[in-house]
């Protein structure tokens, strides 16, 4: 495992579908649905979309979870389960509080109508420092970022440019393969 680097496992951005930062939430949802169907049929190996700016540069990624979060923007302010679970706060504890705050009080059709007009650019947040990994970083460094920071994937960089994606599933396969040759 010491010999390989992130570049050896990353998926180049050219293998991902992209969507413009100017697209709306509905267009992003349709593109993600298409990617999901192709993924299920084994045609397309990815379930996220990359987001490109007006210059064609990749500025982020969007997933099905991002679409769902956009439907309940008030809830995201309070309920970030990854963060809160680190402090011992469970979803069961939060559920009564969230229902009293009036979350989910509108029919889904009303929520979708208003969210469908949202632009992808407001859903994109600048990825945190821990969501980037240089293409020449060690796999040990990548494992550290994926595991400790709870990421499903990392944006791989060459200088300041995003050149690929390192997925948790690919890293896991590499770990299993390495473990299989170890004498445990």
Q: What pLDDT, on the 0 to 100 scale, is given for residue 98?
A: 57
What residue ranges define each of the domains in the chain, with the CATH number in brackets?
A: 6-181 (3.10.580.10)
- β partners of residue 157: 134, 162
Total Cβ atoms within 10 A of residue 72? 16
pLDDT at 125: 63
State residue 12's pLDDT score: 93
**∠ at Cα 133 (127, 136), nearest 5°?**
155
**Closest to 4 (Cα-Cα) out of 121, 130, 177, 154:** 177
In this predicted structure, what is the pLDDT of residue 183? 66
H/E segment holding residue 23 = none
Q: What are the structure tokens assigned to 110, written together?
A: 């009303």
Give the residue among 32, 50, 28 at the shortest CA–CA distance from 40. Answer: 32
The whole-angstrom separation of Cα 44 and Cα 38 is: 5
Higher pLDDT, 106 or 41: 41
pTM score: 0.71
pLDDT at 34 over 80: yes
pLDDT in tens, 37-84: 887 887 777 778 889 999 988 888 888 888 887 776 554 544 445 555
User: Which residue did the predictor score with more confidence, 163 or 3?
Assistant: 163
| Res. 127: pLDDT tops 80 | no
Rounded Cα–Cα distance for residues 99 and 103 (Å): 6
- pLDDT in the model for residue 128: 76
């Amino acid at each position: 495992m010491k010999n390989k680097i992130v570049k050896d496992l990353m998926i180049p951005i050219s293998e991902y579908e992209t969507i413009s930062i100017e697209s709306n939430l509905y267009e992003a949802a349709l593109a993600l649905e298409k990617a999901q169907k192709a993924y299920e049929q084994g045609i397309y190996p990815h379930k996220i979309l990359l987001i490109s700016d007006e210059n064609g540069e990749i500025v982020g990624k969007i997933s099905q979870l991002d679409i769902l979060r956009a439907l309940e923007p008030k809830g995201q302010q309070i309920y970030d389960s990854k963060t809160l679970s680190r402090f011992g706060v469970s979803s069961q504890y939060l559920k009564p509080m969230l229902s009293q705050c009036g979350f989910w009080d509108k029919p889904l059709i009303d929520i979708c109508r208003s969210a469908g007009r949202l632009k992808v650019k407001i859903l994109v947040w600048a990825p945190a420092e821990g969501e980037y990994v240089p293409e020449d970083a060690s796999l040990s460094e990548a494992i550290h970022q994926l595991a400790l920071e709870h990421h499903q994937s990392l944006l791989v960089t060459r200088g300041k440019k995003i050149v690929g994606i390192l997925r948790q599933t690919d890293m896991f396969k590499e770990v299993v393969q390495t473990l299989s040759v170890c004498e445990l």
